[in-house]
Chains A and B, each alone.
Chain A
Amino acid sequence: MNESRSLTARPALLEIERRRHDSRSFTALVWRRLRREPTLLTALAVVVAVILMAILAPHLAPYDPTQVAPQIRLAPPGIAGHVLGTDELGRDALSRLIWGSRISLIVGIVPVVLSALGGTAVGLVAGYYGRLDQIITRSLDVLFAFPAILLALAIVSTLGPSIYNAMLAITVVAIPSFARLVRSLVLGLRQRPFVEAAQSLGAGTRRILWRHILPNTVSSVIIYGTFETGKTIVFAAALSFLGLGVRPPTPEWGAMLSEGRTVLANAWHVATIPGLAIFLVSLSFNILGDGLRDALDPRQTM
């Protein structure tokens, strides 16, 4: 690290530190930023709305999402009180979309959290303990050698198709990229003066990792996790689309899309609406990730 750079970097760090402690001005800062960027605000609104939709599903859904009504099958949107129409079994598409948000969000978020935790642990170990680094990096390279969906597919088709196995597979597939991210951060951090200072003050390895290195990786992991959530929602829907996720009649966006595929010619809405939902939510998480990156880590650019 070059001397003049660390000197100029210090006031900036102090500034960040100060802002972190002054919560009011931080909130004000975030809000000012959001107001200046309508796209970001919209994305945030979509994510919050979908989360609320998932939580309040029993109160929001006008019909039972699994209630079959053959006499009104494939009704177009707007007919007979079905705002988004009905599917091939006459089930209300809006209710299925609302209930489906629960599973789509859980499948999109839980594996990301799990793989962020797992990947961070692996990355910390690989970055800090030079001896294990080679083995871990090589193993990660092997996992990177698989196109993600194929590895997930191999795992789920062996374990048997279910939502839990799909989440397990997504977690396994996502761990390497988190591990690689954290490893590279740790490699940089362990050279920094504050780690040397902690070492010379006699801090043990565990303390250095927990108190000095880990906290400095959190913001990058959160930013990456936000992007990963957007990706995972699409990925999980893809697994369901291939018949490797939820079992019918559970409403889930990917599965709904897959069911609608067979009736595309007579009822376009059955497949396109859940697809649109997947797209919008994933897009919102991606925009949110961009915004978070700019807000939390202005130096990092892609």
Chain B
Amino acid sequence: MLRFSIDRLLATVPVLLGVSIVVFLTMKMIPGDAAQVLAGPQATQEQVALIRQSLGLDRPLYVQYATWLSRAMRGNLGRSIQLEAPVTDMVLNRLRNTLILAVAASVLAVAIGVPAGIFSATHKSSIIDRASMVVALFGNSMPTFWLGLVFILVFSLHFRLFPSNGMYSLRGPGGLPDLLWHLTLPALTLAGVPAAVLARLTRSNLLETLTDDYVRTARAKGLREPRVVARHALGNALLPVVTLMGIQVGYLLGGSILVETVFSWPGLGLQLYDAIGARDLPLVQGGVLLAATIFVLINLCVDLSYGVLDPRIRYSA
């Protein structure tokens, strides 16, 4: 297991380097004079020259990258143009709120998707199976931001059950209950697509596993069906689901920008949205770099957990 973990860790390093190169290169794609763009339209010649020099834009590309990377690794992602504050502090401040949303959505997606998939597989072709697969198919094509708006229309504006924006009430009690109350709609919205994907995958995997020889053996020795499913089939059927969950976390990080925008949830996504509107490029790049890094690290954790769950992976890798 140690060997496997070290291999995986080492394999992550070039990916992270590649991610940093891509983010760096997207910054270099600014049309025209980058210093001019960063300084804004009202900047004087001296200010532009100052920015060009302070960013090292007059030096060769690989030198610029090395300088940028070494700063980034020390936690210096530059300064936000709009708010004149260090990007690192700004994105890290907002990250916590995005993680709250993403974790809640992951929990909901698993809590909805996996049982729905299991039920569908064990009650194949029943009405509930068909209905949940139709819902899952819908969930696959659903624009997240639209689902959020529909939730706001129905649960917030019509039934007045949940708030439509923010994280805490302005003059409310605050604390955990208030947070959960505000969290419900955004988390449900964000969980929609992953729940649908998980349900479909769980169903098809479990259906396949249920035809395996060892499941037949378990049935032949007289075990009751729930025990066959729970003890024998489910463990093996859920392995790919773990991997998929890792991929879905990437979706959640990406999807959170849409959901946070719809619900004004004060996370990294809403910050990125505001930064796009203000053409605050250092902030956009910093946020994207942070999110991509987290995504890579989460996938590393998924890989490692895969090694724990299925010992065969450790030896074949």
Chain A bound to chain B: yes
The reply to whether the CB of A271 lies closer than 8 angstroms to some CB of chain B is yes
The reply to whether the CB of A257 lies closer than 8 angstroms to some CB of chain B is yes
The reply to whether the CB of A59 lies closer than 8 angstroms to some CB of chain B is no
Prevailing SS type, chain B contact patch: helix
CB B40 to nearest CB in A, in angstroms, measures 14
State whether B257 touches A242 (Cβ < 8 A).
Answer: yes
Q: How many Å lie between the Cα of A161 and that of B149 in the bound state?
A: 24
Q: How many Å lie between the Cα of A153 and that of B285 in the bound state?
A: 9
Q: How many Å lie between the Cα of A80 and that of B277 in the bound state?
A: 36
The reply to whether the CB of B281 lies closer than 8 angstroms to some CB of chain A is yes
Q: A25-33, A142-150, A182-190, A212-220: which lies at the B interface?
A: A142-150
- With A157-B279, A282-B143 known to touch, is A268 a contact of B254 (CB < 8 Å)? no
The reply to whether the CB of A44 lies closer than 8 angstroms to some CB of chain B is no
State whether A148 touches B254 (Cβ < 8 A).
Answer: yes
- With A138-B18, A147-B292, A150-B292 known to touch, is A238 a contact of B144 (CB < 8 Å)? yes
Q: How many Å lie between the Cα of A237 and that of B149 in the bound state?
A: 14
The reply to whether the CB of B88 lies closer than 8 angstroms to some CB of chain A is no
Interface centre among A154, A242, A271 (most CB of B within 10 A): A154
Provide the residues of chain B in CB contact with A230, threshold 8 Å: 141
State whether B141 touches A279 (Cβ < 8 A).
Answer: yes
Provide the residues of chain A in CB contact with B288, threshold 8 Å: 146, 150-151, 153-154
Number of chain A residues whose Cβ lies closer than 8 Å to a Cβ of chain B = 47
Prevailing SS type, chain A contact patch: helix
Q: How many Å lie between the Cα of A18 and that of B145 in the bound state?
A: 47
Q: How many Å lie between the Cα of A268 and that of B284 in the bound state?
A: 32
State whether B253 touches A147 (Cβ < 8 A).
Answer: yes
State whether B277 touches A241 (Cβ < 8 A).
Answer: no
- With A138-B14, A160-B31, A241-B258 known to touch, is A146 a contact of B141 (CB < 8 Å)? no
Provide the residues of chain A in CB contact with B149, threshold 8 Å: 257, 260-261, 264, 271-272, 275
Provide the residues of chain B in CB contact with A159, threshold 8 Å: 29-31
Residues on A lying within 8 angstroms of B by beta carbon are: 138-139, 141-143, 145-151, 153-155, 157-161, 230, 234, 237-238, 241-244, 254, 257, 260-261, 264-265, 268, 271-272, 275-276, 278-279, 282-283, 285-287, 302
Residues on B lying within 8 angstroms of A by beta carbon are: 14-16, 18-19, 21-23, 26-27, 29-31, 137-138, 140-146, 149-150, 152-153, 157, 204, 250-251, 253-255, 257-258, 261-262, 272-273, 275-277, 279, 281, 284-285, 288, 291-292, 295-296, 299
Some 19 contacts from A to B, beta carbons below 8 A apart, are A142-B18, A145-B16, A145-B292, A145-B295, A146-B19, A146-B250, A147-B254, A150-B292, A155-B29, A158-B29, A238-B144, A238-B258, A242-B257, A243-B273, A254-B143, A261-B149, A264-B152, A278-B143, A279-B138
Known: A150-B257, A237-B143, A275-B149. 13 other contacts (CB 8 A): A141-B18, A145-B296, A147-B251, A153-B272, A157-B276, A159-B31, A234-B142, A242-B257, A244-B276, A264-B153, A272-B149, A275-B145, A283-B138
